[in-house]
C-alpha cells in the first residue's frame, strides 16, 4: 500500500564515469548494468525503504557527470535533501575534482541556507561523501580492485571529515555497502526531520500568536514549507499546515 511517512530527495553528483548510475541501479533494481552508457541530463528513480519501522520514500535523482549538462543538473541540487558526492577510488582525477564539486554545491546550497535561516546549526542537507569502487573493467572482486586502488580509504575519510560529510566506500558490482549507504541516508534524514518536529509538538499548545505572524510566514521561502510538507505523511499534510506555521514562527523567533 501507498503509505510512506517521509519523502526525501537524494541527488547524486560526481564526475562522469564514476558509476553513479550503476550505484542507483544496483540499489533500486538490484542489478549491475554492464556497459552502462553516459547519463543524459538527469535520471529519476524511486525506492521505498523501511527504517525503524517507518516507510521512507526516496526520490533519487541521478545527474549526468558530463560538463555540458552542468547547467541543468545544478538546478536539481537546490531541492535535494541529501547530496551524494561520488568518486572513483581507482581514478585520482575524480577525487581531485571533489573540492570543485563542493564549491558548486555550496554555491547552490548557499542561497538555500540563507533563505531558510533556521537557528539550527546543521542545515537540512546532508552531504555524504561516498566512494564507489568502479569495477566495470575488473573481472574479480575486491582483491583486484585493491590493486587498482589509487586513493586509500584514509584520504577519502579525511576529506569527508574536513568538510563535515559522511563517508562510505561502496561497490556497485559487488553490491557492497550500497544498501547501507541509502539506509544510512534515510536514517539520518529521519533523525533530522524528527529533531525538527520535536520542538514543534512542544509548542503546539500555544498557537495564539498564529494570526499575528501569519503574514510573516507567508513571506517565507517556499522551500521551507515544501520541505516540511514532504516530510509529512502524504495523505494528510493539509492538516499539518498549522503546525508548519508554528514551526516557522518558532524559526523566526530564534
- Half-sphere exposure at residue 140, Cβ-oriented, CA atoms within 13 angstroms: 4
**Residues making up the chain, counted from first to last:** 254
Stretch that binds another protein, among 34-42, 92-100, 176-184, 195-203 (CB under 8 A): 34-42
Show Cβ contacts of residue 198 under 8 Å, excluding neighbours closer than 6 positions.
none
Q: What share of the chain is helix, strand, coil (3-state, %, to 5)?
A: 50, 20, 30
Residue pair 171/140 in contact by the 8 Å Cβ criterion? no
Question: Is 74 among the residues that bind another protein (CB under 8 A)?
Answer: yes
Task: Using DSSP, state whether 4 is helix, strand or coil.
Answer: coil
Q: How far is the CB of 129 from another protein (least distance, A)?
A: 24
Per CB under 8 A, contacts with another protein among 78-97 are: 78-79
**Of the candidate residues 6, 8, 61, 87, the single one contacting another protein (CB under 8 A):** 61
Does 71 interact with another protein (rule: CB under 8 A)? Answer: yes
Question: Are the beta carbons of 134 and 88 closer than 8 angstroms?
Answer: yes
The answer to whether 33 contacts another protein (rule: CB under 8 A) is no
Does the protein bind another protein through residue 45 (CB under 8 A)?
yes
Among 29, 120, 153, 195, binds another protein (CB under 8 A): 29
Strands (E) across the chain are located at 6-14, 42-51, 54-63, 82-88, 126-133, 166-171
> According to the binding rule CB under 8 A, does residue 205 interact with another protein?
no
CA pair distance 3, 57, nearest whole angstrom: 9
User: Does 37 sit near another protein (CB under 8 A)?
Assistant: yes
Quick check: 103 binds another protein (CB under 8 A)? no
Residues forming the site for another protein (CB under 8 A): 1-2, 28-29, 37, 39-46, 59, 61, 64, 67-72, 74-76, 78-79, 222, 226, 234, 238, 241
Amino acid at each position: 500500500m501507498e503509505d510512506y511517512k517521509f519523502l526525501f530527495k537524494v541527488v547524486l553528483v560526481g564526475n562522469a564515469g564514476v558509476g553513479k548510475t550503476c550505484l542507483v541501479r544496483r540499489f533500486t533494481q538490484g542489478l549491475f548494468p554492464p556497459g552502462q552508457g553516459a547519463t543524459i541530463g538527469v535520471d529519476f528513480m524511486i525506492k521505498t525503504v523501511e527504517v525503524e519501522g517507518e516507510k521512507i520514500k526516496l526520490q533519487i535523482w541521478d545527474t549526468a557527470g558530463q560538463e555540458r549538462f552542468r547547467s541543468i543538473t545544478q538546478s536539481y541540487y537546490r531541492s535535494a535533501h541529501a547530496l551524494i558526492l561520488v568518486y572513483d577510488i581507482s581514478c585520482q582525477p575524480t577525487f581531485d575534482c571533489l573540492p570543485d564539486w563542493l564549491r558548486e554545491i555550496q554555491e547552490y546550497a548557499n542561497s538555500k541556507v540563507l533563505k531558510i535561516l533556521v537557528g539550527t546549526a546543521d542545515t537540512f542537507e546532508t552531504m555524504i561523501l561516498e566512494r564507489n569502487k568502479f569495477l566495470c573493467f575488473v573481472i574479480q572482486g575486491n582483491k583486484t580492485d585493491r590493486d587498482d586502488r589509487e586513493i586509500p580509504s584514509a584520504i577519502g575519510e579525511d576529506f569527508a571529515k574536513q568538510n563535515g560529510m559522511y563517508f562510505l566506500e561502496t561497490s556497485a558490482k559487488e553490491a557492497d555497502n550500497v544498501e547501507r549507504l541509502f539506509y544510512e541516508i534515510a536514517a539520518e534524514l529521519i533523525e533530522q526531520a524528527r529533531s525538527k518536529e520535536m520542538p514543534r509538538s512542544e509548542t503546539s499548545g500555544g498557537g495564539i500568536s498564529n494570526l499575528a505572524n501569519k503574514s510573516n510566514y507567508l513571506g517565507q521561502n517556499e522551500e521551507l514549507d515544501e520541505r516540511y510538507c514532504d516530510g509529512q505523511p502524504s495523505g494528510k499534510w493539509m492538516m499539518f499546515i498549522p503546525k508548519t506555521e508554528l514551526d516557522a514562527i518558532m524559526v523566526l523567533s530564534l
